[in-house]
Amino acid sequence: MTTRRTAPESLRESVLLWKEAGGSEQPPSRWSPTTWQRRFPEYAEYLSDLPMPISRADVAARCRDAADGPEQATRAFIAAMVWGHGPVGYGAFRTKRILDENAAAGSTLASVARIARDQGGPEAFAWLAQRQHRLHWLGVAFATKYLFFCAAGGSGRPALVLDRLVRDWLFNSLDWPLTLEWDVDDYRDYVETMGTWAVELDIAPGNLEMLVFQLAANADPRSLWSAPELFTAASSPSPPIPQGVPEGSAELLEMLDDAAGIFASYSSATDQDDVADFERGIRNLKRIILARR
């Protein structure tokens, strides 16, 4: 039986603040084209055409044809993973591993994209949750990122991103124990509840999920994803996000990406606490470098 939950007051207030501040889109994700091109030389030209930084709208445009076939789905998946991993250096390695270690991964991604477009997010999630369709190494957090974009232009219910930040914020705010395992009922409840709140708060469900994510990221001083400006009205337009970083900083960021990728390739034989510590260290170093621009 589904429990009816009320949107937290803090979320209601944040929606109002976001609207008063202009209802801006989530800041685009910075990423390293060089790192991704090294992992995907066969898609080097495609990756060179992706914007840097890359926004949700940029990815949505590249996922419109994901249902058309394995190649289109693979390209769409790469774009979604670029956006989802952003400045995290091991993203290219993990994406490559998913595509390389699953037979007919492109066909699976195309099939689930069609379901997301035609039937909706929860139905696509349920299909992908079946063991015969599951993609090894692809967890709920990044699978729902891909499904979000595939369902965006469809006629069914949305596929909302459910990652660690969103899950933890909802648990801390409502004691709502969502799981990041492939629990179909859990995900359906999440999408339906967020959809109900979105109607009440007069906001698109995808934007509501984005605000939950930002509230969680903003509360973490170590986060690379914080964006407090989304909730603050500005007297003048924000300056455009720079397309690059100084040459020395760019080289340092690429070196960190390389280190993260190398460490990730050995992570299966490494204690998971060590993996988490290493990834936190990389994120902190990147934040320091980017802050010195």
Residue 282: which pLDDT band, with cuts at 50, 70 and 90? low
**Range of weakest confidence among 65-69, 232-236, 249-253, 254-258:** 232-236
Distance CA 168, CA 227 (A): 18
Q: Is the model more confident about 180 or about 243? A: 180
Distance CA 97, CA 77 (A): 13
User: Does pLDDT of 270 surpass 50?
Assistant: no
Query: ∠120-85-82 over CA atoms, to 5°?
Result: 75
User: Does pLDDT of 267 surpass 50?
Assistant: no
Q: Cβ-count burial of 256 within 10 angstroms (0-12 exposed, 13-18 middle, 19+ buried)?
A: buried
Residue 242: which pLDDT band, with cuts at 50, 70 and 90? very low
Question: What are the tokens at 214?
Answer: 């930002």
Q: What is the mean pLDDT of the segment spanning 94-110? A: 97
Distance CA 99, CA 190 (A): 28
Residue 82: which pLDDT band, with cuts at 50, 70 and 90? very high
**How large is the angle between the packed helices 247-265 and 272-291, nearest 10 degrees?**
170
Q: Distance from first CA to last CA of the chain, Å, rounded?
A: 52
DSSP-derived 3-state class of residue 54:
strand
Alpha-helical (H) ranges within the chain are 9-20, 33-39, 44-49, 56-62, 70-85, 91-100, 105-118, 121-129, 140-151, 164-174, 184-201, 205-218, 247-265, 272-291
Distance CA 245, CA 123 (A): 42
Digit-coded pLDDT (tens) for 39-75? 999 999 999 999 999 999 999 999 999 999 999 999 9
User: Does pLDDT of 201 surpass 60?
Assistant: yes
Distance CA 122, CA 156 (A): 9
Q: Residue 155's pLDDT is what?
A: 87
Mean pLDDT over each residue of the chain, to the nearest integer: 88
Q: Residue 274's pLDDT is what?
A: 56
Digit-coded pLDDT (tens) for 144-198? 999 999 999 898 999 999 999 999 999 999 999 999 999 999 999 999 999 999 9
Residue 237: which pLDDT band, with cuts at 50, 70 and 90? very low
User: Does pLDDT of 293 surpass 90?
Assistant: no
Backbone angles phi, psi at 145, to 5 degrees: -65, -45
Q: Residue 262's pLDDT is what?
A: 56
Q: Residue 238's pLDDT is what?
A: 40
Q: What is the mean pLDDT of the segment spanning 243-259? A: 60
Q: Residue 236's pLDDT is what?
A: 39
Distance CA 4, CA 183 (A): 18
**What torsion do the CA atoms of 65, 66, 71, 77 make, to the nearest 10 degrees?**
130
Q: What is the mean pLDDT of the segment spanning 277-290? A: 66
Query: Cβ neighbours of residue 150 under 8 Å, at least 6 residues apart?
Result: 63, 66, 67, 76, 112, 113, 116, 117, 124, 159
- Count of beta carbons in the 10 Å neighbourhood of residue 225: 17
Digit-coded pLDDT (tens) for 68-80? 999 999 999 999 9
